């Protein structure tokens, strides 16, 4: 049984503030090669290659935006990866594919990180690699097959993110060690102990329970639960968070994509209890020390909603802020006749 109130702080402390705390932007220092290797998951082997494509050579190709040629590349890819597009909808950017032992495989990427996609006997499945895109770059062009001798074998580089001054969210990369072969045993990668559809690596990276199909014990298995970490609740503050989470009009495929999640960093129990309608959600603890190794080194947070600020003079009036990668908006919220009325107070667009 998972306790809803496992944090030592009270709901009051986790969800409300008396004064709006300024969100501070802490610039993270990029990892050195030594630090990346020290943090490397044990299931990954990193081998030095004698001949290789450098990050620079490979990324010039991927950044080839010069009109016609790029269009041609995109068209070629759309045809080549048609089968994967049909099975996985639009949730993934697909890199390369390969047939291996009666199955089709493809290396792919979404907002959470890198995945290995598989189609076997008309059934799709996806396996999370647990390698941060803040540290690992996989080459777009690779002459060798990506699966060989029972292992995923990807050529690439170790990289660091360079913050572009004045443009948060527009990060660029630079290589800190070229010529690496990242090798992961397929059996280890595909291990799904509780058989719920998410591999153990994924569940450990995002704080789900790899030994139970139903992490939060609400009777709905992780794979189909829109909020697999916490039991949903009905409360006016939960409702407020449900109104403020981003919506994606015109993207109905999200619901069909069990690998697409929006991740929020919060300790607020009312926020944890939301039932999103357009996509699945995951939550990370606010305390960096409580984050998984993967979350500590990967920025998967594209949206956020603040704690709720109370108004002493008007107990039914609250203030709350939401933000995305390039803007933030402040709201006043009043609960009247059983529903919230939101008033936009202003915002910033970066």
| Chain residues in the site for Ca ion (CB under 5 A) | 192, 194, 196, 198, 209, 214, 216, 218, 220, 222, 225
**Furthest CA-CA distance within the chain:** 70
Q: How far is the CB of 213 from Ca ion (least distance, A)?
A: 5
Cα-based distances in Å from 124 to 10, 128, 208: 42, 14, 21
Alpha helices (runs of H) in 40-131, residue ranges in sequence order: 55-62, 67-80, 82-88
Closest-CB residue for Ca ion? 225
Residue among 7 and 126 whose Cβ is closer to Ca ion: 126
Q: How far is the CB of 179 from Ca ion (least distance, A)?
A: 34
End-to-end CA distance of the chain: 44
Q: How far is the CB of 259 from Ca ion (least distance, A)?
A: 13
Q: How far is the CB of 194 from Ca ion (least distance, A)?
A: 5
Cα distance between residue 264 and residue 303, in whole Å: 7
* Contact residues for 323 (Cβ-Cβ < 8 A; gap 6+): 23, 303, 304, 305, 329
Residue among 91 and 228 whose Cβ is closer to Ca ion: 228
Cα distance between residue 304 and residue 178, in whole Å: 35
Cα distance between residue 52 and residue 287, in whole Å: 40
Residue among 55 and 127 whose Cβ is closer to Ca ion: 127
Contact criterion met (CB below 8 Å) for 302 and 325: yes
Residue among 98 and 275 whose Cβ is closer to Ca ion: 275
Q: How far is the CB of 121 from Ca ion (least distance, A)?
A: 20
Residue among 106 and 229 whose Cβ is closer to Ca ion: 229
Alpha-carbon 253 to chain mean position: 17
Residue among 43 and 173 whose Cβ is closer to Ca ion: 43
Q: Coil, strand or helix: which one is 203?
A: helix
Q: How far is the CB of 147 from Ca ion (least distance, A)?
A: 22
């Amino acid at each position: 049984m998972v306790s809803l109130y496992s944090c030592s702080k009270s709901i009051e402390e986790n969800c409300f503030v008396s004064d709006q705390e300024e969100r501070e932007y802490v610039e993270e220092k990029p990892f050195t090669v030594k630090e990346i290797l020290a943090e490397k998951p044990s299931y990954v082997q990193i081998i030095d290659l004698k001949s290789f494509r450098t990050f620079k050579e490979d990324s010039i190709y991927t950044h080839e935006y010069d009109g016609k040629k790029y269009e041609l590349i995109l068209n070629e890819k759309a045809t080549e990866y048609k089968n994967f597009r049909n099975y996985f909808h639009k949730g993934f950017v697909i890199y390369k594919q390969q047939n291996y032992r009666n199955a089709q495989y493809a290396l792919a990427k979404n907002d959470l990180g890198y995945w290995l996609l598989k189609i076997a006997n008309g059934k799709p499945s996806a396996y999370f690699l647990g390698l941060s895109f803040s540290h690992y770059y996989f080459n777009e062009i690779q002459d060798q097959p990506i699966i060989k001798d029972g292992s995923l074998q990807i050529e690439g580089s170790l990289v660091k993110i360079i913050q572009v001054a004045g443009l948060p969210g527009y990060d660029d990369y630079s290589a800190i060690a070229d010529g690496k072969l990242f090798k992961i045993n397929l059996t280890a990668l595909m291990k799904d102990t509780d058989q719920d559809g998410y591999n153990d690596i994924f569940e450990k990276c995002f704080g789900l329970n790899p030994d139970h199909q139903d992490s939060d014990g609400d009777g709905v298995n992780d794979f189909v639960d829109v909020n697999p970490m916490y039991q949903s609740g009905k409360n006016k503050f939960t409702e407020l968070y449900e109104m403020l989470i981003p919506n994606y009009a015109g993207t109905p495929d999200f619901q069909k994509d069990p690998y697409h999640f929006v991740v929020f960093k919060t300790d607020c129990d009312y926020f944890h209890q939301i039932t999103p309608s357009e996509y699945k959600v995951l939550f990370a603890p606010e305390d960096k020390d409580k984050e998984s190794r993967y979350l500590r080194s990967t920025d998967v947070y594209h949206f956020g909603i603040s704690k709720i600020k109370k108004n002493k003079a008007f107990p039914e009036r609250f203030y709350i802020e939401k933000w995305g990668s390039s803007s933030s908006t402040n709201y006043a919220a009043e609960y009247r006749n059983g529903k919230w009325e939101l008033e936009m107070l202003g915002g910033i667009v970066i």
